[in-house]
Chains A and B, each alone.
Chain A
């Protein structure tokens, strides 16, 4: 879907992006992770040509973006930014309808689409006539997403989309995003400085520093097989809790006893659930069950840590 090759952006005073290359496949989410000044946002903005590169090539669906008409290219790519960038003088409805109207969609189709998005993002229809300033930060963020999705782009670019929200709202919306079918269908490039966000949302993560990609790979690869000292140190602080994002229940199955039948009254979870998402269910004596190879496996807080310890030992050996 998106191919970036030898991308460089040289500003008069500094080199912002230095020979960056990556590819993003269809329906994949790539997170550009890094501290401020690492070049991640500059890289993102070059994809929809808000910034023109000094050298290098970007292809979207096999066509170099330099050959596309600027506004046509952008209308095909959803764009979500921090603080959402909603027009303060447009109602919520008008904001969401912005790109479809630019594309001259049929008005009835636009209205249907708005209602569909509002329902999907759990926004009450009474908001349609409200102005952005009347909504809470989390609600605005959802409207921002709805606006980016409105014209059904196949690609979404997101620049710190949750940056303006408090931690609790952040993780709630993150979970919502992840579970939306429509978002799972998109090819997404997301910029963030939040490591947990990167691990939760990214299929792959590109860790950037000084304008270069230090390492690109799945969260697990970055965590367990850092290519250099920078990458190792970057995750060192949260190493333990990040494990919980890097592994799912399925990964633990070899290290836990299984049974042929489900224990009575057990709560069943899908096997691909990230460990981080089940931790809150395991406080005290509670236990949960998941299914693997037609066998049922019970997990408790007392058993999860030893199992994880064995898993990590094996990972570092292999």
Chain B
């Protein structure tokens, strides 16, 4: 609990910004849903023939799992606030259209007839009788839509649209409970507050009700504009950071510490981060120096001239028990030592990310060209090992390379568990014996797992070799895990910008970025 409050206090600015964005997203989509949904609900009371089609279609939208609906938005509309708002709007549509229709239809037919009999035109019947009497039912729909939207809006962070989901996704990626709670509790509170508030509104009687409801309708656009508040008065460069980068000691905090570089950042799924910078949604991202998309999207990697980010040499981390059980394993895996340079890893990533080849095919090509594969001898499979991989392209390729190599050269059966959330998850699985090995990076092992005092890590960080030696010693001593020889490349964090923009602003290094922002 203590830690949670510390986290909240420490990230109060970011949290306030996310809450405002969250409210903005919720009400902006609600606003559009009201503008379209209420007239649509009214329209179908006049056209009974299309009721089935309209309610059916908006109903089907509601049945799509929210994360899938947001997922569909990426190929259709890309990422950013636009697609997120469209998805939220589609979600809010059903309760509003349906309740408008039901509310108006349920006004007593005798009353409607009396109104028509007295000479009210259809429009007057609607505005003076049907709509006011349907208002409580319509409001029940708005209430449902609002509460749904507060919940679904957490997923908007997945489309780089911001909101409280940033901390939830970030917390999941980092296995950081406090971070998850920091996103969850405010969004739950927001839902409860809005639900209770609208419920009171709904129960108001008499004339006051219509006044308050009118105020609500005026308030919706105002609350919508909250979305713009966090953007106002910002420096000219917007940053989009992966959750891990934002939360890890060697990521954004290291950047702050070394360069004192404050960036207005949005937390983005690391797979969408490159897309976000390419489409101008953000200007700076926290990339990985071997990512294939650097090449594909023509990005400039800023030089880390003050060594804020520690070296991240890739190597396989293996349980010592496994190595003892299968003595043939270590020599096989050691064949990979030094085989992958920065540029060759980037190339492999590029082939998968951009040319859309399968990691298996890319791994096979690599092993073949490196001459590491032997003719299969068709021996029977005996024993099995489990390989883990985190949820990004490079890890999928590495896991494939290891699987194909081991299955080619030993009798072991290899099972791959890919798409694991992050280092912490892989490491815990390895300790628990659910995994036998996974590709890890020296810097991560140092700062995420070992977490030595700042003095130690600062002295180590300057030298790639020193870090490797330190982590392999400590892992051996503390956890009975072995770091095999480095694969050869160094996949460290790096800030990246669009080449054209970086060129125009004359930014090549992190220090120059800092100078630019301070100017």
Question: Do A and B associate with each other?
Answer: yes
Residue numbers of A with Cβ under 8 A of B are: 45, 48, 50, 70-76, 79, 81-89, 98-99, 102, 131, 147-148, 157
The reply on B172 being an interface residue by CB < 8 A is no
| Chain B contacts for A50, CB-based, 8 A | 113, 116-117
Partner of A102, one of B119, B129, B133: B119
Partner of B120, one of A45, A71, A131: A71
Interchain nearest-CB distance for A150 vs B (Å):
9
B119 and A81 contact, CB distance less than 8 A:
no
Beyond A85-B110, A87-B128, A89-B132, whether A79 also contacts B117 by CB under 8 A is yes
A81 and B129 contact, CB distance less than 8 A:
no
Interchain nearest-CB distance for B194 vs A (Å):
26
The reply on B199 being an interface residue by CB < 8 A is no
A-B complex: 5 closest residue pairs judged by Cβ atoms: A85-B114, A74-B119, A75-B119, A79-B117, A71-B119
Interchain nearest-CB distance for B131 vs A (Å):
10
Interchain nearest-CB distance for B341 vs A (Å):
77
| Chain A contacts for B116, CB-based, 8 A | 50, 74
Partner of A87, one of B111, B121, B206: B111
Beyond A81-B110, A83-B110, whether A74 also contacts B117 by CB under 8 A is yes
B114 and A99 contact, CB distance less than 8 A:
no
| Chain A contacts for B111, CB-based, 8 A | 85, 87-88
| Chain B contacts for A72, CB-based, 8 A | 119
| Chain B contacts for A71, CB-based, 8 A | 119-121
| Chain B contacts for A48, CB-based, 8 A | 117
Beyond A50-B113, A85-B113, whether A99 also contacts B118 by CB under 8 A is yes
A-B contact sample (17 more), CB < 8 A, given A81-B113, A85-B113, A99-B118: A45-B117, A48-B117, A50-B113, A70-B119, A73-B119, A75-B118, A79-B114, A87-B111, A87-B128, A87-B129, A89-B132, A89-B133, A98-B118, A102-B120, A131-B206, A148-B118, A157-B117
Cα A70 to Cα B206 in complex, Å, equals 32
Beyond A72-B119, A75-B119, A102-B124, whether A81 also contacts B114 by CB under 8 A is yes
Interchain nearest-CB distance for B133 vs A (Å):
6
| Chain A contacts for B132, CB-based, 8 A | 89
Can you name the residue of chain A whose Cβ is closest to the Cβ of B121?
A71
Interchain nearest-CB distance for B115 vs A (Å):
7
Can you name the residue of chain A whose Cβ is closest to the Cβ of B129?
A87
| Chain B contacts for A102, CB-based, 8 A | 118-120, 124
Give per-residue flags for B100-141: 1 if the beta carbon is below 8 A from chain A beta carbons, else 0.
000000000011011111111100100011001100000000
| Chain A contacts for B113, CB-based, 8 A | 50, 81, 85
A-B contact pairs, 6 of them (CB 8 A): A48-B117, A72-B119, A74-B117, A82-B110, A83-B110, A86-B114
Interchain nearest-CB distance for A42 vs B (Å):
13
Beyond A85-B110, A88-B133, whether A99 also contacts B117 by CB under 8 A is no
A99 and B119 contact, CB distance less than 8 A:
yes
Interchain nearest-CB distance for A283 vs B (Å):
41
Cα A99 to Cα B118 in complex, Å, equals 7
| Chain A contacts for B110, CB-based, 8 A | 81-83, 85
| Chain A contacts for B117, CB-based, 8 A | 45, 48, 50, 74, 79, 81, 85, 157
Cα A221 to Cα B417 in complex, Å, equals 98
Interchain nearest-CB distance for B130 vs A (Å):
11
Cα A45 to Cα B113 in complex, Å, equals 10
Cα A79 to Cα B117 in complex, Å, equals 6
Cα A89 to Cα B128 in complex, Å, equals 9
Cα A86 to Cα B116 in complex, Å, equals 12
| Chain A contacts for B121, CB-based, 8 A | 71
| Chain B contacts for A157, CB-based, 8 A | 117
| Chain A contacts for B129, CB-based, 8 A | 87
Interchain nearest-CB distance for A101 vs B (Å):
10
Cα A70 to Cα B117 in complex, Å, equals 10
| Chain A contacts for B118, CB-based, 8 A | 74-75, 79, 98-99, 102, 147-148
Cα A140 to Cα B118 in complex, Å, equals 17
Can you name the residue of chain A whose Cβ is closest to the Cβ of B117?
A79
Cα A76 to Cα B119 in complex, Å, equals 8
| Chain A contacts for B114, CB-based, 8 A | 79, 81, 84-86
Residues of B380-420 whose CB lies within 8 A of A: none
Interchain nearest-CB distance for B138 vs A (Å):
14
Can you name the residue of chain B whose Cβ is closest to the Cβ of A85?
B114
Cα A73 to Cα B115 in complex, Å, equals 13
Interchain nearest-CB distance for B178 vs A (Å):
50
| Chain B contacts for A83, CB-based, 8 A | 110
Interchain nearest-CB distance for A49 vs B (Å):
9
| Chain B contacts for A70, CB-based, 8 A | 119
Can you name the residue of chain A whose Cβ is closest to the Cβ of B116?
A50
| Chain B contacts for A98, CB-based, 8 A | 118
**Residue among A72, A73, A84, A87 having the largest count of chain B Cβ atoms under 10 Å:** A87
Interchain nearest-CB distance for B401 vs A (Å):
73
**Residue among A79, A82, A84 having the largest count of chain B Cβ atoms under 10 Å:** A79
Cα A79 to Cα B111 in complex, Å, equals 12
Cα A89 to Cα B130 in complex, Å, equals 11
Cα A102 to Cα B121 in complex, Å, equals 10
| Chain A contacts for B119, CB-based, 8 A | 70-76, 99, 102
Cα A99 to Cα B206 in complex, Å, equals 22
**Residue among B115, B116, B121, B132 having the largest count of chain A Cβ atoms under 10 Å:** B116
**Residue among A72, A81, A82, A157 having the largest count of chain B Cβ atoms under 10 Å:** A81
Cα A49 to Cα B469 in complex, Å, equals 95
| Chain B contacts for A74, CB-based, 8 A | 116-119
